[in-house]
Structure 1
Amino acid sequence: MALRPYQQAAETAVLQEWEGENKKTLLVLPTGTGKTIVFAKITEDRVRVGERVLIMAHREELLKQAADKIEKATGLKSAVEKAEQSCKGSWYRVVVGSVQTLTRDKRLKQFSRNFFDTIIIDEAHHSVSDSYQHVLQYFDGAKVLGVTATPDRSDMRNLGTYYNSLAYEYSLPQAIKDGYLSKIVAQTIPLTIDISGVGFSAGDYKMGELGTALDPYLAQIAQEMLTYCADRKTVVFLPLVKTSQKFCELLNQVGFNAAEVNGNSDDREQVLQDFDAGKYNVLCNSMLLTEGWDCPSVDCVIVLRATKSRSLYSQMVGRGTRLYPGKDHVLLLDFLWNTEKHELCRPACLIAESEDVAAKMTEKLNESGKPEDLEVLEQEASEDVVSDREAALADKLAAMKKRKRRLVDPLQFEMSIQAEDLSGYVPSFGWEMGPATKKQLEALEKFGIFGDEIENAGKAKLILDKLIKRKESGLATPRQIRLLESRGFQHVGTWTFAAATKLIGRIAARGWRIPSDIKPAEYIPEA
């Protein structure tokens, strides 16, 4: 099976991490972009060099899916380590194993500590739990790959306590731009749902209290869905099984063909097949379908299980982002959640790289009252945030530009090149949180950046990566940026090196006076 370009890049990046010093690394791929195919190919590579590979997951569906995809993509069959099934005595070099089974000492200690050379963990955001760590610490000599969909910052910080690096990340917006996932269109429904009294448990909203708070609004939500979902194939996520069952009944009462599935449904497989075939147009569930279930024809998602976990939110919405013939986009219906917990995930969280942009997107979406393409909305919100930030920092930047320092202040550099990922950067891994190294500071100074004000090694690396890429792309240097912006020119960071050099040459030739035909605040260099 031929890999897509980003899948090939992901495989290469992981293998490079392992060849270096990072034996525990992460791979981030959004739902629907073929993460199982990628780790199947990585598995094949390891088997080719004689290694034994363990694929670990916490649900039967994920284990079966992994075994099926590995065989389909590589021809390799897998042994199973789950309940009464064991891989002991098998000739297969690939084992799919249940963490619930392997974490039991009686089962675990049947293996030598070096039995597996490589361990791959599907849905890796679970891997910092005690059960996974018990297994990982036992096979502590193995290389480890954790695979997950887009995580939020708290997830990355948690994962950073075990993993040493992020080998590769393919973002949801990039997957949509590249045409591998459906674009997401969000619509805010003018219905305020009050969950301000719902408490927290294990870092997220309490399911029981959330179900109770949601209950009075279910009938009205069902009516609202008639306006937006009548001709769509919709999946609804709810906090409790009883809430899901009640909502399913209400939907059928208003005219939908709705079905409900949960972990205790005897006919679960049949219901899912019937939904896929079009017998039902709405499927209600209580968190059952967040992982390991694919139905590409879904073109509407409703999240009534409020969450502050971006990874969980992404998984739910991801049930509708797969491509399907005749499907132009997935509609994401959102409500006006009344909550004092500002961490609540909304559609903007899917693609916004900073909290400022997410807040601006949510504000625009709430004001719009009509469907909005999230990519377009993100672009508009980013421009607004940049403008707001520039206005707020104008005095500070003006002071920086007047400094007689030989090197360029990193904040001025960030603002000039409009680097949202720099201004919103938060370190995840332990090495990122430490101070910038001497080698990094020396490299920054060579580029003309004053490194003493850079908060940590992670940000220093991010700035250096940008500087190297800018040099390769022929863009203006930090010193050119500072010189020209100190004379009133705007956004010199977006100029080419050649354009900046040409203008500086003209100014220098006039005794460092700006030519009379140029107005710095309005000047745009020729392409």
Structure 2
Amino acid sequence: MELRPYQQEARDSIQNEWKNGVKKTLLVLPTGCGKTIVFSKVIEDRVRLGERVLVLAHRGELLDQAADKLEKSTGLKCAREKAEQTSVGSWFRVVVGSVQTMMREKRLERFDHDFFDTIIIDEAHHCISDSYQRVLQYFETANILGVTATPDRGDMRNLGSYFESLAYEYTLPKAIKSGYLSPIKAMTIPLQLDLTSVGQQAGDFKSSDLGTALDPYLESIAAEMWRVAQDRKIVVFLPLVKTSQKFTNILNSFGFRAAEVNGESQDRAQILEDFDNDKYNVLCNSMLLTEGWDCPSVDCVVVLRPTKVRSLYSQMVGRGTRLHPGKTELLLLDFLWNTERHELCHPAHLIAENEEIAKAMTKQIEEAGIALDLEDVEKQAVEDVIAQREEALAKQLEEMKKRKRKLVDPLQFEMSIQAEDLSSYVPSFGWEMAPPSDKQIKTLEKLGILPEEIHNAGKATKLLERLDKRREEGLTTPKQIRFLEQRGFEHVGTWSFDNAKRLIDRIAANGWRMPDGVNPKEYRGE
């Protein structure tokens, strides 16, 4: 099977992490970008090295899918550790295992601690739980790959408490731009839904409270869906089975062809097949279809299960991001959720780099009243946020330039070299959050950066890497930036080292006074 370019890059990056001694690494690919294919190829590479591999998942469908894709893409067959099925005595080198089965002490004890050389965790955002940790700690010598579609740093920070690195990340905007996933249009429905009375459970809204809170609005939501999406193929996510069933009846009374599926549905496979074949045009479910189900023709997703968990939100929306003939975009319907807590996921969180940009995007979408392309909205929001930030930082920068310091404040350096990625950096992994090492502090000082303002090892690493790269490219040093910007020159970070040196030499030769004909505000380092 021919891998797409990003899939091959991901495969190589994962192998490199393990080769370099990083045992626990992550792969982040949006839903629909072939994560199972990538880890199947990684498994093939490890089996060729003579290794034994365990694929861990928390649901039977995911295990079946993994086994099926592995065989189709590599020819490798699997043994299973699931309920009464066991791999013990099997000669297959790959085992797919249900975490609920594998976590049991009696089951684990059938294996030596070093039995598996590599463990792949599908839907890795679940792996922080006790059940996964019990299995992972038992096979403590194995290399670990976690695979997830989680889209933002909030979830990544949780994963960073276990994983040591991010081997490869392919973002949703990149996948859409490259034509691998459907463009997304978001629309806010002008219904004020009150969630202020909804309680919390395990870091998210309590499903039972959500169901009750939604009930009074179901008729109005159905009416709005009929207004904006009656010709679309829709999946609706709801908090409770009874709410899902009730909403299905309401939708049918409006003229939709709606069906409902839940964990107890006897005819679930038939309903899903009928929906796939367009017998129904709306499918309601209570969080059943978040993982392991695909219907590429879905072109509208309605999230009526508000959540603060990015990975969950991403999974729901991911049911509609795949490409399909005749499908031009995915319409994502959002609502004016009225809650005292502001961490609620909105369409913006699928692609926004940070909360500041997400808020600006959400405001734009809410005020528009029509469906807007998420990428266009993000572009505008980024420009607005950067303009506001630059205005605030410019004032700070003026203050910094006046300080009689021998070393450059990192913020001044970042602004001068226009490094948005450095100034907005947030650590994700455990090692990144630790304080900078003594060696890092000494090197930063030597290179002219004030180390007191660098609060973690991740930022220090990024900064040192950037300084190295700038030296290779022949760009200005922090000390040159500080000297020239104190004298009123602007964006010195974009100049070459040689141009800055020539100007400093001219100033020195002129008794450290500004040479005639040089205007710092207009001078651009040519």
State whether TM-score is above 0.5. Answer: yes
2:317 match: 317
Q: Given the superposition, is the C-alpha separation of residues 302 and 447 from structure 1 closer, same or farther in structure 2, using an over 3 Å criterion?
A: farther
**Per-residue CA shift, 1:105-142, capped at 9, x if unaligned?**
22221122222111111011111111111111111121
- Give ranges in structure 2 of 5+ residues lacking alignment: none
**Per-residue CA shift, 1:19-51, capped at 9, x if unaligned?**
223212221111111111111011001100111
What amino acid is the match of 2:496?
Answer: F
Moved more, 500-509 or 424-433: 500-509
Separation (CA, whole Å) in 1 of partners of 2:436 and 2:259? 55
What amino acid is the match of 1:465?
Answer: E
Separation (CA, whole Å) in 1 of partners of 2:27 and 2:40? 13
Q: Given the superposition, is the C-alpha separation of residues 276 and 412 from structure 1 closer, same or farther in structure 2, using an over 3 Å criterion?
A: same
Aligned length: 524
1:427 match: 427
1:122 match: 122
Q: Given the superposition, is the C-alpha separation of residues 356 and 78 from structure 1 closer, same or farther in structure 2, using an over 3 Å criterion?
A: same
2:17 match: 17
What amino acid is the match of 2:521?
Answer: P
2:459 match: 459
Cα offset for 1:525?
A: 8.1
2:41 match: 41
Cα offset for 1:155?
A: 2.9
Q: Residues 487 and 520 of structure 1 are in contact (CA less than 8 Å); yes or no, is this contact kept in structure 2?
A: no
Q: Residues 487 and 520 of structure 2 are in contact (CA less than 8 Å); yes or no, is this contact kept in structure 1?
A: no
Moved more, 57-66 or 460-469: 460-469
Cα offset for 1:150?
A: 2.0
State the TM-score, normalizing by the size of structure 2.
Answer: 0.93
2:55 match: 55
Q: Given the superposition, is the C-alpha separation of residues 227 and 524 from structure 1 closer, same or farther in structure 2, using an over 3 Å criterion?
A: farther
Q: Residues 507 and 515 of structure 1 are in contact (CA less than 8 Å); yes or no, is this contact kept in structure 2?
A: no
What amino acid is the match of 2:400?
Answer: M
2:496 match: 497
Q: Secondary structure at the match of 1:232?
A: coil
- The 5 Å alignment of 1:268-347 reads 268-347=268-347
Q: Secondary structure at the match of 2:302?
A: strand
2:183 match: 183
Q: Given the superposition, is the C-alpha separation of residues 329 and 466 from structure 1 closer, same or farther in structure 2, using an over 3 Å criterion?
A: farther
Q: Secondary structure at the match of 1:279?
A: coil
- The 5 Å alignment of 1:121-270 reads 121-270=121-270
Separation (CA, whole Å) in 2 of partners of 1:243 and 1:514? 76
**Per-residue CA shift, 1:60-107, capped at 9, x if unaligned?**
110011011111111111111111211122111111111111111222
Separation (CA, whole Å) in 2 of partners of 1:439 and 1:329? 51
**Per-residue CA shift, 1:411-470, capped at 9, x if unaligned?**
112333444433333323221121112332344345543223101001112223334455
Cα offset for 1:306?
A: 0.4
**Per-residue CA shift, 1:279-302, capped at 9, x if unaligned?**
221111111111111112211111
What amino acid is the match of 1:405?
Answer: R
Moved more, 128-137 or 48-57: 128-137
**Per-residue CA shift, 1:243-282, capped at 9, x if unaligned?**
1111111111111111111111111112112222222211
**Per-residue CA shift, 1:461-520, capped at 9, x if unaligned?**
222333445556666554454455445555454x35389649948975995648759682
Q: Given the superposition, is the C-alpha separation of residues 137 and 506 from structure 1 closer, same or farther in structure 2, using an over 3 Å criterion?
A: closer
State the TM-score, normalizing by the size of structure 1.
Answer: 0.93
Q: Secondary structure at the match of 2:319?
A: helix
Q: Given the superposition, is the C-alpha separation of residues 332 and 524 from structure 1 closer, same or farther in structure 2, using an over 3 Å criterion?
A: farther
Separation (CA, whole Å) in 2 of partners of 1:503 and 1:388? 34
Q: Secondary structure at the match of 1:320?
A: coil
Q: Residues 432 and 456 of structure 1 are in contact (CA less than 8 Å); yes or no, is this contact kept in structure 2?
A: yes
What amino acid is the match of 2:19?
Answer: E
Q: Given the superposition, is the C-alpha separation of residues 270 and 510 from structure 1 closer, same or farther in structure 2, using an over 3 Å criterion?
A: farther
Identity between Structure 1 and Structure 2 (%): 66
| Alignment of 1:105 onto 2:105 | yes
Q: Given the superposition, is the C-alpha separation of residues 394 and 289 from structure 1 closer, same or farther in structure 2, using an over 3 Å criterion?
A: same
What amino acid is the match of 2:113?
Answer: R
Separation (CA, whole Å) in 1 of partners of 2:362 and 2:499? 38
Separation (CA, whole Å) in 1 of partners of 2:524 and 2:311? 41
- The 5 Å alignment of 1:361-440 reads 361-440=361-440
Q: Residues 500 and 525 of structure 2 are in contact (CA less than 8 Å); yes or no, is this contact kept in structure 1?
A: no
Q: Secondary structure at the match of 2:364?
A: helix
What amino acid is the match of 1:497?
Answer: S
Q: Given the superposition, is the C-alpha separation of residues 419 and 277 from structure 1 closer, same or farther in structure 2, using an over 3 Å criterion?
A: farther
Q: Residues 300 and 333 of structure 2 are in contact (CA less than 8 Å); yes or no, is this contact kept in structure 1?
A: yes
- Give ranges in structure 1 of 5+ residues lacking alignment: none
Q: Residues 257 and 279 of structure 1 are in contact (CA less than 8 Å); yes or no, is this contact kept in structure 2?
A: yes
Q: CA RMSD in A?
A: 2.5
Q: Secondary structure at the match of 2:289?
A: helix
Separation (CA, whole Å) in 2 of partners of 1:500 and 1:362? 44
Moved more, 507-516 or 175-184: 507-516
Separation (CA, whole Å) in 2 of partners of 1:285 and 1:455? 45
Separation (CA, whole Å) in 2 of partners of 1:6 and 1:425? 24
Cα offset for 1:317?
A: 0.9
Q: Residues 200 and 206 of structure 1 are in contact (CA less than 8 Å); yes or no, is this contact kept in structure 2?
A: yes
Q: Given the superposition, is the C-alpha separation of residues 109 and 305 from structure 1 closer, same or farther in structure 2, using an over 3 Å criterion?
A: same
Q: Secondary structure at the match of 2:334?
A: strand
2:521 match: 520
Q: Secondary structure at the match of 1:186?
A: strand
Q: Given the superposition, is the C-alpha separation of residues 395 and 223 from structure 1 closer, same or farther in structure 2, using an over 3 Å criterion?
A: same
Separation (CA, whole Å) in 2 of partners of 1:507 and 1:282? 73
Separation (CA, whole Å) in 1 of partners of 2:265 and 2:164? 40
Q: Given the superposition, is the C-alpha separation of residues 440 and 361 from structure 1 closer, same or farther in structure 2, using an over 3 Å criterion?
A: same
Separation (CA, whole Å) in 1 of partners of 2:43 and 2:508? 62
Separation (CA, whole Å) in 2 of partners of 1:258 and 1:473? 60
1:89 match: 89
Cα offset for 1:369?
A: 1.7
Separation (CA, whole Å) in 1 of partners of 2:524 and 2:276? 54
Q: Secondary structure at the match of 1:121?
A: strand
Q: Given the superposition, is the C-alpha separation of residues 234 and 506 from structure 1 closer, same or farther in structure 2, using an over 3 Å criterion?
A: farther
Q: Given the superposition, is the C-alpha separation of residues 103 and 192 from structure 1 closer, same or farther in structure 2, using an over 3 Å criterion?
A: same
Moved more, 323-332 or 246-255: 323-332
What amino acid is the match of 1:316?
Answer: M
Q: Residues 152 and 309 of structure 1 are in contact (CA less than 8 Å); yes or no, is this contact kept in structure 2?
A: no
**Per-residue CA shift, 1:161-201, capped at 9, x if unaligned?**
32222222222222222322222211111111110111110
Q: Secondary structure at the match of 1:301?
A: strand
